[in-house]
Amino acid sequence: MMFSRQQIRHTRLHQIASGRRWMSVRPEERAPETRKKITIQHLLNMKRKHTPIAMLTAYDFPTGRACEAHGVDITLVGDSLAQVCLGYDATTRLTLDEMVHHCRAVARGSKAPFLVADMPFGTYEAGVDDAVRNAVRLVREGGVDAVKIEGGVEVVDTVKRLTTVGIPVMGHIGLMPQRQAIQSGYRVQGKSAAGALSLVDSALALEAAGAFAIVLEAIPHAVGAHITRRLHHAATIGIGAGWETDGQVLVWDDLMGTWGGHKAKFVRRFGDVRGEVERGVHAYVQAVRDRSFPSASESYEMPAEEAERFVGLAGARGDEP
Ligand SMILES: Nc1nc(=O)c2c([nH]1)NC[C@@H]1CN(c3ccc(C(=O)N[C@@H](CCC(=O)O)C(=O)O)cc3)CN21
Ligand SMILES: CC(C)C(=O)C(=O)O
């Protein structure tokens, strides 16, 4: 929730007058947003001008807010949410209701970035009509601008139909986590010449079907670069696809170092939030145990005469500690 400067000043004066102070339940005090909404046209201009596109996952209000505040171009409510946020063992466990719930929180924080949600496993495979119904829920209830679906030529009809009804689609080829069982794990794709060519075919088919962007996951650098040069109407967003794609994406928890699970080769840790969390929780527990928390300045007092009356009144009713 945003306040104008005038509203902030007004609220402050009111609080000072009424003797109230800020509490953590109040929305953060902030100047009105200045970032302009990112559009598909903006993203394709970035591709044309070779300005790298920064995409990052977010799963809740504060992470969405961080994407908003620090210049992210595309916020992705990725289905990696299943693992890094909800503790499931695979992305295939995630339901549409769970995805919608998290999209709503992210959308409240991430306003300017183009907002994309993964269509969870099982919400677009059974038929094009079903895919439309489910994508509409993500847009209408989740508040996202576009959806992402995993797959190559086999999802082309779905991409066409969604695009036709006005829902932009981001493709996702290469390593497709929703297919880890049938692919016997998380493996780099397109390492053979034939495999690489089939990735190029998938990318071209997705572009022709109307996809505005395509995630390229865990493929050789040369294949990522080739596909990026071949596509003129769709931006490529790499994750483990080398340095010559139109943009990059990483999972929030990998980037921040909050994820303690497997670290793929393409992950770079840009922060050590896990270390901070460990220090903070440990210090808190320690301070509670040794009674150094809370201090007098973190506690409330009664006026001395009220304290005296209280002791007297409590004693009179036999209310002795
Ligand atoms: N924390 C996290 N980061 C992700 O990027 C991510 C998730 N979770 N969950 C959903 C999917 C799963 N992803 C994964 C998971 C494992 C590998 C992986 O182990 N890759 C191997 C490739 C080994 C090879 O074939 O040579 C690696 O070591 O990089 C890659 C992507 C990407 N997504
Ligand atoms: C890793 C990204 C591309 C993703 O699909 C996810 O977060 O689920």
CB 177 within 8 A of CB 91: yes
pLDDT band at 200 (very low <50, low <70, confident <90, very high): very high
Model confidence over 248-286: pLDDT tens digits?
999 999 999 998 888 999 999 999 999 999 999 999 999
Hey, what are 113's tokens? 């970035």
Q: What are phi and psi of 306, to 5 degrees?
A: -70, -35
CB 160 within 8 A of CB 172: no
Q: Is the CB of 251 under 6 A from ligand 1?
A: yes
Which of 182, 169, 214, 177 has the alpha carbon at shortest distance from 93?
177
How close is the Cα of 193 to the center of ligand 1, in Å? 22
Burial class (CB in 10 A: 0-12, 13-18, 19+), 49: exposed
d(CA 150, CA 114): 19
d(CA 188, CA 176): 10
Give the type of residue at 235. Answer: A
Is the whole model's pTM more than 0.95, yes or no? no
| 168-196 average pLDDT score | 97
Q: Is the CB of 61 under 6 A from ligand 1?
A: no
| 282-300 average pLDDT score | 98
- 221-230 and 193-209 helices cross at what angle (nearest 10)? 30
How close is the Cα of 185 to the center of ligand 1, in Å? 9
Model confidence over 111-155: pLDDT tens digits?
999 999 999 999 999 999 999 999 999 999 999 999 999 999 999
d(CA 273, CA 282): 14
Task: Quote the pLDDT of residue 26.
Answer: 61
CB 44 within 8 A of CB 53: no
Residue pointed to by tokens 């493996």: 187
d(CA 238, CA 244): 9
Q: Which of 147, 149, 239, 248, when mutated, tests ligand 2's pocket best, judged by the most ligand atoms within 8 Å of its CB?
A: 239
What is the sign, positive or negative, of the torsion defined by CA atoms of 147, 150, 152, 157? negative
User: How would CATH label the architecture of 40-250?
Assistant: Alpha-Beta Barrel (3.20)
pLDDT at 44 over 90: yes
Model confidence over 55-72: pLDDT tens digits?
999 999 999 999 999 999
Mapped to the 3 state alphabet, what secondary structure does the chain carry?
A: CCCCHHHHHHHHHHHHHCCCCCCCCCCCCCCCCCCCCCCHHHHHHHHHCCCCEEEEECCCHHHHHHHHHCCCCEEEECCCHHHHCCCCCCHHHCCHHHHHHHHHHHHHHCCCCEEEEECCCCCCCCCHHHHHHHHHHHHHCCCCCEEEEEECHHHHHHHHHHHHCCCCEEEEEECCHHHCCCCCCCCCCCCCHHHHHHHHHHHHHHHHHCCCEEEEECCCHHHHHHHHHHCCCCEEEEECCCCCCCEEEECHHHHHCCCCCCCCCCCCCCCCHHHHHHHHHHHHHHHHHCCCCCCHHHCCCCCHHHHHHHHHHHHHCCCCC
pLDDT at 321 over 80: no
Domain residue limits, the chain: 40-250
Task: Quote the pLDDT of residue 243.
Answer: 98
pLDDT band at 32 (very low <50, low <70, confident <90, very high): low
Task: Quote the pLDDT of residue 11.
Answer: 46
pLDDT band at 30 (very low <50, low <70, confident <90, very high): low
217 counts as catalytic: yes
Model confidence over 3-16: pLDDT tens digits?
454 454 444 444 44
* Average pLDDT of every residue of the chain: 92
How close is the Cα of 80 to the center of ligand 1, in Å? 10
**Catalytic annotation, pick one of 217, 244, 298, 301:** 217
d(CA 63, CA 228): 29
d(CA 74, CA 212): 12
